[in-house]
Structure 1
Amino acid sequence: MKNNLDYPAAEATKPFGRYLATALLVSAAYVLLSALLIGFKSDQLVLAGIFTALYVSTPITRKFILGFSIFIVFWVIFDYMKAFPNYWFNEVHIGSLYNAEARLFGIHTAEGVLTPNEYFQRHSIVLADVLAGLFYLCWIPVPLGFAAYLFFRDRRSFLYFSLTFLLTNLIGFVIYYLYPAAPPWYVQEYGLDFIAGTRGNTAGLIRFDHFFNITIFQSLYTKGSNVFAAMPSLHSAYPLLVLYHSWRNNMGFMKIVFGMITVGIWFAAVYTSHHYVLDVLAGIAVATTGIILFQTLVAKSKRFARFVEGYVGMIS
C-alpha cells in the first residue's frame, strides 16, 4: 500500500527532477556547441552554472532566468561571431569610411584636416579620459540593471525592452556582416591596409586604465568578437534603448540620468577612437529601427503578439 504521508513529498520531487534535467541538457548543449565553434572557456561553465542554479532553485529565480535568457541569447550569438569573422564574407571598409568621416566631420587644424578621433587623440585631457572610461563602463551594466528593475516592476515592460534590445542587436549583427568596418584606432595603428585576425585594442580607453593603474579595459577588449564590427556602434544604441523605455515607463528623474549616460557614451565612443561619428549615428539609427520594428510587430502581427503574451505569462 502506498504511504499517503510520503506521496506528496515524492510528487514534489518530480518537477524538480524535470527542471534539473532540462537545465542540464540545455547547459550541456551550450558548452558542447561552444567548445566546437570557439573552443572551451571557463566562462562557459560559469554561465551554464548560473543558468542551472537559477532555473532549478525557486519559481521566481526560474522566471527570472527565463526572462533574462533573452540577454543570454544575445551574448551567445555575439560570442559565436568569433567562429565566423565578417571579413570572410565581405570586403572590410577602412579608407572609404575614414575619408567619409574626414569629409563630413573633419576639423581643420594647422596639421591639416583631422577626424574628430584624431583631434581628440592629440588633445586628450585627464578629466575627459576618466569620464569617457566611466561612461563606457555603463554600456552593459546599465541595460542589464534597467532590465532587472523592469522585471520586478512590470514584466510586460521588461519583455518589451528585452526583446527590443535583442532585435536591435540582430539588426546590428546583420549590418556587421554586410558592411565590415574598421574602427578609428585601426587606422591609427595599421593605416589603411587590411590585416586579418587583428586583435582587439583598448585605444583611448588605455588612458583610463593607466590613470587608475588597472587593466579593466585591456581585459575586456582581448575578448572582442570581431575588430571589424565598428559600424554601427551598438555601444551607442544600448543607452538610447534604455532612455526610450525610461520615458515610456515615466521614470521621472532617472530619465535625465539615462539621457546624460546616453550622450556620455556617444561622446566616449568618438573620444576614445573606438567609433567614428558615422558609427554613432548608425547606432542611433539601428536603435530607432529596432524600437519601431518591435512596436510594429506587436501591433500588426497576431502571431508575434501571441508569442509576446505567452512569454509574459511564462515569466509572470
Structure 2
Amino acid sequence: MAVDSRTSQVRVARRTQQFAAEVALITTAIVLYFVVRGLIHTRIDAAFRNAEYVVELERLGGFFVEPELQAAVAGHGWLVDAVSYFYIYGHWPVVLATLLWLLIRHRDAYRTVRNAILISGAIGLVIFAVFPVAPPRFLPLYGFVDTVTEQTSAYRVLQPPAFVNQYAAVPSLHFGWNLLMGIAIATLAGHWAMRLFGWLMPLAMLASIVLTANHYLLDGLAGGVIALLGLLIACRRTKGFLSTTEGRKSAPSDS
C-alpha cells in the first residue's frame, strides 16, 4: 500500500514537472517571438512600398476588397464592436486556453501544435525581417479605419513598439495560430458545439483582422499557409493529432 502511494506521488510530481516545463517553454517562446520581432530593424519606407505592392497584387488578383468590406460594416456599430473586440480578446486567450487544454487532455496533439507554432513563428520572423509591410490601418487614403484603436487604446499600449514591430503585417500569424487552434478543437473536442466553435472561430478571426484594418486578405492567406506548413512539418516529427474518434473517446467530459 505504501509502495503504491509513493508510486502515485512520484507520478504526480513527474506530471507536475512536465506540465511546468511545457508552460515555461511555450511562454518563453511567445515572449522571445515578440522580443525578436520588436528588435528587428524596421524600414518604414520599405514597409509602405511593400504595402503598396500588396495592394497592387490584390488588385491584379481582383480581391482588393478590404476598404469596401470595412465600409459595408461601418454603419452597423454592433458589428464593428464585435470584430474589434474579437480581434483583441479572441487571439491570445483562445490560443493559451487551447494549448492548456491540449497539454492536460491530449499530450500528443499538444506537442504537435506547440511545434507547429514554433516552426511557423520562426518562418514568420524571417519574413518580417526581409519583407516589412505596413498594415492597412496605416493607409487611411484607401479608406481604412483602425477600429481597434477607436474602441480602446489599451490594446496598442499593451503591445509597445519595443516588443511589437508595427510593420509586420505579412504574414498574419494572428490568424494562422487561431487556425491551428481551430483545427485542434474541431478534431479533438467531444461536444459538437465545441467542434463547431473550432470550425467557425478561425473564420471569425479572419474577418476580424480584415474588418479592423490590421491585415490584408493576402496576409490572412499567407498566415494560414505558413501555419499549415508548420503543422505539416510538426506532424512528421511527432505522432500528430489523434484521430477524431480517439480524441472524442479520450475526452468524455468535454460535453
Q: TM-score, normalised by structure 2?
A: 0.75
Residue in structure 1 matched with residue 67 of structure 2 by the alignment:
118
What are the equivalent positions in structure 2 for 1:1-316 lying under 5 Å apart? 61-68=16-23, 69-87=25-43, 91-92=46-47, 93-106=50-63, 115-123=64-72, 124=74, 125-136=76-87, 137-188=89-140, 203-209=146-152, 215-223=153-161, 225-253=164-192, 254-298=194-238
- SS at 1:173's partner residue? helix
State whether residues 85 and 148 of structure 2, in contact with CA within 8 Å, keep that contact through their aligned partners in structure 1. no
- SS at 2:139's partner residue? helix
Residue range with higher mean Cα deviation, 274-283 or 215-224: 215-224
State whether residues 98 and 184 of structure 1, in contact with CA within 8 Å, keep that contact through their aligned partners in structure 2. no
Q: How big is the shift at 1:167?
A: 1.4
Q: How big is the shift at 1:233?
A: 0.5
Q: How big is the shift at 1:208?
A: 3.1
State whether residues 70 and 163 of structure 1, in contact with CA within 8 Å, keep that contact through their aligned partners in structure 2. no
State whether residues 67 and 159 of structure 1, in contact with CA within 8 Å, keep that contact through their aligned partners in structure 2. no
Unpaired segments of 5 or more residues in structure 2? 1-12, 240-255
Classify 1:207/1:260 alpha carbon distance in 2 versus 1 (closer, same or farther; 3 Å). farther
Summarize deviations over 1:233-283 as a string: whole Å, max 9, x none.
Answer: 111101110122223425432121122211111001110111111111111
Amino acid of the residue matched to residue 136 of structure 2?
A: P
- Percent identity between the two aligned chains: 21
Deviation beyond 3 Å, 4+ runs, structure 1: 58-62, 120-123, 220-224
CA RMSD of aligned residues (A): 2.6
Q: How big is the shift at 1:182?
A: 1.5
Unpaired segments of 5 or more residues in structure 1? 1-57, 107-114, 192-201, 210-214, 300-316
State whether residues 127 and 171 of structure 2, in contact with CA within 8 Å, keep that contact through their aligned partners in structure 1. yes
Q: Which has the higher contact order (CA 8 A, sep 6+)?
A: 2
Summarize deviations over 1:112-145 as a string: whole Å, max 9, x none.
Answer: xxx4332244341212212102321111111110
Amino acid of the residue matched to residue 78 of structure 1?
A: F
**How many residues are paired up?**
217
State whether residues 165 and 238 of structure 1, in contact with CA within 8 Å, keep that contact through their aligned partners in structure 2. yes
- SS at 2:43's partner residue? helix
State whether residues 91 and 174 of structure 2, in contact with CA within 8 Å, keep that contact through their aligned partners in structure 1. yes
Amino acid of the residue matched to residue 155 of structure 2?
A: F
Give the whole-Å Cα distance in 2 for the aligned partners of 1:180 and 1:218: 19
Amino acid of the residue matched to residue 129 of structure 1?
A: V
State whether residues 71 and 162 of structure 1, in contact with CA within 8 Å, keep that contact through their aligned partners in structure 2. no
- SS at 1:174's partner residue? helix
